[in-house]
């Protein structure tokens, strides 16, 4: 077992701390989503769904609270998908040769980048949650302090696994790409279907069948389900839809994310192992 | 008259300095630190390295010389495990390149042809990163960082980001980095490319210093004069093949010729006379006088030539004896000038322009 991934992590975090502008910029976008899109849609949806009766025992939640989980998930998706871009720059600027020529096993490169990416996601998620709570997202309704802490840990667990999976994918793409433009194109291509075929901003129950199937295999859907389970509860009502999560549902989502992360690790490992940079 | 012609006219200048110490380190004292047998490498059907075999003795400065595109970097990349070993056998510092690549990586240091620095890390951080990548224990690592910063004289740049360093400083940092782990062999791929003359000279001083402290140096370059000045042994590579190898002075002497530039009162008659000599290989007219290529040591033949011409009543106006340089060696073996060899290759693949 080697621990050089700590070195890769250290170096990536060093850059992250040095370029705080990246963090600030990555926080503004989700804030705008919540503040503008969230506020606008919230009033619309409440007007449209006000006539639908709320089921017994379910808590009715605002659209802003509903989409709060989605925004956290989307931000994590974007950040993680671009997280591997460091590797592309290292490749183009030459530092990758220093990594590849060192005795460090190559898996350490993707593990290090994965862990630093997860750290960045955690920072983002905490800040976005804080911001959301300020502007009216009602997470952790009637939770005790211990329950809230547990819920936050649960959210971070889901975010972490989801994030590292996409960081591995991003690393694999970055290692195979020649230019940042190519990377941008591929990631944009990936982002939109992941984004739309998910439950991040609206319920999937009313989706056409094929899209619904697609969304069930979408890691983003599983992340959003996990966040909602921990942040809102297992029985709530939003935009005319009744959500009831069982423990089984959550475990299924968790397992799906685990499988996704493991598969992505295998792909990234394979790519980085056979990478030739001269 | 004879006195006058001697005192007035003789100016012998030897352009190349010959260092008498320059010879291959005796084999009894040292082992082969690098052994390469029948190395071959092809990129999409193009054979970049073609059946190359050589060895490097411990403690020497070994140069791989050749024009751009000769396959030097490919060989270095295979040796340093950056390119896969397709065919052939390579042993470095007692480790098999094919079966123990990680061991090989631990025993070598590399300075790549292109810059390999994180532009946003400081000098200190760059070295710290390197030490960590090679799993050096903290105490040793920190100590070596200080030693290296001192060695490459970057004390006042310790906390400067590498993007703010000059080309020469970056190179020195990379050399210091390559030496941090006390490698047995330091690979230098075109270390002086793109640097000014002064920086280059300082860099060679460092490299010689490093070599004197026991590190074997494997060098590639297309600067003939530099290879000539520092190397114990030179292999000349062209089109993926080793076309000549030897101690620099031997390589040049192996041509069996010196070059004499001579100006006389009667060049035509002088040409006649010189051509009759057995040791004279060729006589060519130059701008003012004649370029005489000779098969023997010019320092001995030159007085003879001058006496002969004097006896025939031909007055000598000036004489210049020139030792062949490695450039001449390269021209001799390839029929091309090394500085144009790369360009010539480019020209060949460019389409003919239309009429």
Phi, psi angle pair for B221, to nearest 5°: -160, 160
For residue B250, pLDDT beyond 70: yes
**Across B279-303, average pLDDT:** 80
CA–chain centroid gap for A224, Å, is: 9
Write out pLDDT tens, residues A233-277.
887 888 777 888 888 889 999 999 999 999 999 999 999 998 887
* Token couple for B126: 């760059």
Which pLDDT band holds residue B25 (cuts at 50, 70, 90)?
low
Mean per-residue pLDDT over chain B, rounded: 81
Q: In what order do the strands lie in the sheet with A241-244?
A: A59-60, A235-238, A241-244
Phi, psi angle pair for B142, to nearest 5°: -65, -40
CA–chain centroid gap for B305, Å, is: 34
**pLDDT at B9 (0 to 100):** 37
Write out pLDDT tens, residues B294-306.
888 788 888 888 8
pLDDT higher at A146 or B203: A146
**pLDDT at B12 (0 to 100):** 34
Which pLDDT band holds residue B24 (cuts at 50, 70, 90)?
low
Q: Which residues of A touch B73 (CB under 8 A)?
A: 278
**pLDDT at A1 (0 to 100):** 64
Write out pLDDT tens, residues B46-85.
888 999 999 999 999 999 888 877 888 899 999 999 899 9
Alpha-carbon distance A110 to A115, whole Å?
Answer: 9
Q: Does B112 touch chain A (CB under 8 A)?
A: yes
**pLDDT at A252 (0 to 100):** 94
Q: Does B106 touch chain A (CB under 8 A)?
A: yes
Do A14 and B132 make contact, defined as CB atoms within 8 angstroms?
Answer: no
Q: Scan for tokens 């004896």, then name that residue.
A: B321
- Nearest Cα to Cα of residue B75 among B64, B67, B61: B64
Give the C-alpha distances (Å, rounded to integers) separating A82 from B38, B95, B112, B289: 44, 40, 28, 70
For residue B8, pLDDT beyond 50: no
For residue B355, pLDDT beyond 70: no
The whole-angstrom distance between B153's CA and the closest CA on chain A is: 22
pLDDT higher at B6 or A235: A235
Alpha-carbon distance A115 to A259, whole Å?
Answer: 18
SS3 B47: strand
Write out pLDDT tens, residues B154-171.
999 999 999 999 988 998
The whole-angstrom distance between A189's CA and the closest CA on chain B is: 30
Alpha-carbon distance A112 to B301, whole Å?
Answer: 69
Q: How many CB atoms lie within 10 A of CB B81?
A: 22
**pLDDT at B17 (0 to 100):** 39
**Across B336-352, average pLDDT:** 48
Do A4 and B132 make contact, defined as CB atoms within 8 angstroms?
Answer: yes
The radius of gyration computed from the CA coordinates of chain B, to the nearest angstrom, equals: 25
Question: For chain A, where are the alpha helices, taking DSSP H only?
Answer: 5-18, 20-32, 39-48, 63-83, 85-93, 95-100, 107-135, 145-176, 180-196, 209-216, 219-231, 247-273
Q: How many CB atoms lie within 10 A of CB B300?
A: 11
Q: Which of residues 120-149 of B touch A (CB under 8 A)?
A: 120-121, 125, 129-130, 132-135
Which pLDDT band holds residue B36 (cuts at 50, 70, 90)?
very high
Alpha-carbon distance B216 to B25, whole Å?
Answer: 11
- Nearest Cα to Cα of residue A22 among A78, A69, A96, A95: A78
CB-nearest partner of A102 from B83, B84, B105: B105
The whole-angstrom distance between B118's CA and the closest CA on chain A is: 6
Q: Does B172 touch chain A (CB under 8 A)?
A: no
Question: For chain B, where are the alpha helices, taking DSSP H only?
Answer: 2-9, 72-79, 101-106, 123-133, 138-151, 167-179, 197-212, 224-230, 248-253, 267-275, 298-311, 326-334, 338-349
**Across B9-32, average pLDDT:** 47
Euclidean distance between the first and the last CA atom of chain B, given in angstroms as a whole number: 62
As beta bridge partners, residue B258 has B294
Q: Does B80 touch chain A (CB under 8 A)?
A: yes
The whole-angstrom distance between B78's CA and the closest CA on chain A is: 10
Q: Does B100 touch chain A (CB under 8 A)?
A: no
Q: Which residues contact A130 (CB under 8 A, 6 or more apart)?
A: none
For residue B26, pLDDT beyond 70: no
Alpha-carbon distance B199 to B225, whole Å?
Answer: 15
CB-nearest partner of A101 from B110, B120, B125: B110
Do B110 and A2 make contact, defined as CB atoms within 8 angstroms?
Answer: no
Q: Which residues of A touch B118 (CB under 8 A)?
A: 11, 15, 90, 93, 95
As beta bridge partners, residue A244 has A235
CB-nearest partner of A94 from B80, B112, B125: B112
Alpha-carbon distance B94 to A142, whole Å?
Answer: 69
For residue B342, pLDDT beyond 70: no
Do B120 and A15 make contact, defined as CB atoms within 8 angstroms?
Answer: yes
For residue B16, pLDDT beyond 60: no
Q: Which residues in chain A come in under a pLDDT of 70?
A: 1, 49-50, 56, 278
Give the C-alpha distances (Å, rounded to integers) separating B345 from B52, B68, B147: 21, 9, 44
Taking phi over 0 as left and psi of -120 to 50 as alpha, with beta for the rest, A51 belongs to alpha
Please give the angle made by the CA atoms of A40, A42 and A47, to the nearest 5 degrees.
Answer: 110
Sign of the CA dihedral with B309 first, then B310, B315, and B318 last? positive
C-beta of residue B76 within 8 angstroms of C-beta of residue B64: yes
A5-18 and A107-135 are packed helices; what angle lies between their axes, rounded to 10 degrees? 40
Alpha-carbon distance B347 to A212, whole Å?
Answer: 59
Q: Does B159 touch chain A (CB under 8 A)?
A: no
Q: Which residues of B touch A4 (CB under 8 A)?
A: 132-133, 135
Top-ranked range on mean pLDDT: pick from A86-90, B260-264, B270-274: A86-90
Report chain A residues touching chain B, CB-CB < 8 A: 2, 4, 6-7, 10-11, 14-15, 18-19, 90, 93-95, 97-105, 276-278
Q: Which residues of B touch A99 (CB under 8 A)?
A: 133
Mutate to test the interface with B, among A11, A100, A277 (most CBs of B within 10 A): A11
Q: Which of residues 55-74 of B touch A (CB under 8 A)?
A: 73-74
Alpha-carbon distance B68 to B342, whole Å?
Answer: 5
**pLDDT at B340 (0 to 100):** 55
pTM: 0.81
Q: Which residues of A touch B110 (CB under 8 A)?
A: 101
Alpha-carbon distance B142 to B72, whole Å?
Answer: 34
- Per mean pLDDT, which range of A30-34, B6-10, B225-229 is the poorest? B6-10
Mutate to test the interface with B, among A7, A86, A108 (most CBs of B within 10 A): A7
Do A97 and B116 make contact, defined as CB atoms within 8 angstroms?
Answer: yes
SS3 B110: strand
Top-ranked range on mean pLDDT: pick from B90-99, B240-249, B258-267, B342-351: B90-99
- Nearest Cα to Cα of residue A215 among A229, A194, A236, A201: A194
For residue B350, pLDDT beyond 60: no
Q: Which residues of B touch A11 (CB under 8 A)?
A: 118, 121, 125, 129
DSSP 8-state class, residue B10 = B
Q: Which residues contact B323 (CB under 8 A, 6 or more apart)?
A: B14, B15, B16, B18, B252, B258, B259, B298
Please give the angle made by the CA atoms of B260, B262 and B267, to the nearest 5 degrees.
Answer: 130
Pairs of CB atoms within 8 A across A/B: 71
Nearest-Cα residue of chain B relative to residue A19: B120
Write out pLDDT tens, residues B120-142.
999 999 999 999 999 999 999 99
Do A95 and B117 make contact, defined as CB atoms within 8 angstroms?
Answer: yes
Alpha-carbon distance A225 to A230, whole Å?
Answer: 9
The whole-angstrom distance between B168's CA and the closest CA on chain A is: 17
Q: Which residues contact A70 (CB under 8 A, 6 or more apart)?
A: A198, A199, A200, A201, A224
The whole-angstrom distance between A274's CA and the closest CA on chain B is: 10
Q: Does B220 touch chain A (CB under 8 A)?
A: no
**pLDDT at A62 (0 to 100):** 83
Q: Which residues of A touch B77 (CB under 8 A)?
A: 278
Alpha-carbon distance B131 to B124, whole Å?
Answer: 11
Burial zone of A110 (CB within 10 Å; 0-12 exposed, 13-18 middle, 19+ buried):
buried
**pLDDT at B254 (0 to 100):** 64
H or E stretch covering B262: strand B258-264
**pLDDT at B341 (0 to 100):** 55
**Across B6-30, average pLDDT:** 43
């Amino acid at each position: 077992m080697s621990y050089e991934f700590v070195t890769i992590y250290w170096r990536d975090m060093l850059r992250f701390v040095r370029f705080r502008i990246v963090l600030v910029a990555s926080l503004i976008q989700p804030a705008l989503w919540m503040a503008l899109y969230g506020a606008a849609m919230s009033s619309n949806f409440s007007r449209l769904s006000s006539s639908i009766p709320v089921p017994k025992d379910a808590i009715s939640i605002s659209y802003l609270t509903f989409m709060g989980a989605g925004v956290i998930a989307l931000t994590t998706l974007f950040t993680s998908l671009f997280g591997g871009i460091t590797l592309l720059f290292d490749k183009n600027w030459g530092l990758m040769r220093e990594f590849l020529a060192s005795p460090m096993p190559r898996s350490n490169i993707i593990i290090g980048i994965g862990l630093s990416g997860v750290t960045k996601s955690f920072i983002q998620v905490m800040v976005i949650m804080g911001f959301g709570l300020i502007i009216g997202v009602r997470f952790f309704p009637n939770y005790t302090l211990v329950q809230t802490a547990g819920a936050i840990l649960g959210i971070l667990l889901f975010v972490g696994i989801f994030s590292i999976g996409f960081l591995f994918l991003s690393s694999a793409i970055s290692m195979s790409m020649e230019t940042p433009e190519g990377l941008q194109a591929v990631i944009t291509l990936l982002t939109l279907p992941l984004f739309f075929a998910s439950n991040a901003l609206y319920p999937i129950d009313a989706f056409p069948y094929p899209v619904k199937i697609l969304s069930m295999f979408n890691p983003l859907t599983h992340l959003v389900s996990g966040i909602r389970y921990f942040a809102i509860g297992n029985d709530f009502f939003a935009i005319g839809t009744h959500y009831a999560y069982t423990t089984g549902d959550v475990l299924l989502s968790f397992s799906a994310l685990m499988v996704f992360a493991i598969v992505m690790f295998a792909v990234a490992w394979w790519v980085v192992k056979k990478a030739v940079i001269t | 008259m004879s006195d006058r012609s001697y005192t007035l006219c003789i100016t012998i200048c030897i352009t190349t300095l010959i260092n008498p110490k320059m010879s291959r380190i005796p084999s009894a004292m040292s082992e082969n630190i690098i052994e390469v047998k029948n190395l071959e490498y092809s990129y999409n059907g193009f054979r970049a390295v073609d059946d190359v075999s050589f060895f490097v003795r411990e403690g020497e400065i070994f140069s791989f010389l050749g024009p751009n595109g000769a396959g030097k970097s490919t060989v270095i990349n295979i040796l340093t495990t950056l390119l896969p070993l397709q065919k052939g056998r390579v042993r470095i510092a007692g480790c098999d390149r094919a079966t123990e690549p990680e061991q090989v990586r631990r025993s070598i240091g590399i300075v790549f042809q292109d810059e390999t620095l994180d532009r946003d890390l400081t000098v200190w951080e760059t070295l710290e990163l390197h030490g960590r990548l090679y799993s050096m224990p903290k105490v040793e690592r920190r100590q070596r960082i200080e030693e290296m910063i001192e060695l490459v004289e970057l004390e006042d740049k310790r906390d400067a980001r590498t993007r703010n360093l000059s080309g020469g400083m970056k190179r020195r940092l990379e050399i210091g980095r390559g030496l941090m782990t006390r490698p047995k062999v330091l690979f230098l791929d075109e270390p002086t490319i793109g640097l000014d003359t002064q920086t280059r000279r300082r860099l060679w001083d460092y490299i010689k210093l490093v070599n004197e402290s026991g590190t074997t140096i494997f060098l590639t370059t297309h600067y003939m004069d530099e290879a000539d000045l520092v190397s114990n042994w030179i292999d000349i590579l062209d089109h993926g093949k080793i076309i000549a190898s030897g101690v620099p002075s031997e390589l040049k002497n192996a041509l069996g010729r010196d070059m004499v530039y001579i100006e006389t009162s009667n060049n035509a008659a002088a040409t006649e006379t010189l051509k009759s000599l057995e040791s004279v290989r060729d006589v060519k007219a130059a701008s003012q006088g004649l370029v005489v290529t000779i098969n023997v040591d010019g320092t001995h033949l030159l007085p003879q030539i001058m006496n002969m011409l004097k006896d025939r009543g031909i007055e000598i106006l000036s004489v210049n004896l020139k030792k062949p340089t490695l450039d001449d060696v390269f021209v001799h073996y390839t029929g091309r000038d090394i500085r144009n060899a790369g360009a010539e290759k480019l020209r060949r693949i460019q389409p003919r322009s239309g009429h």
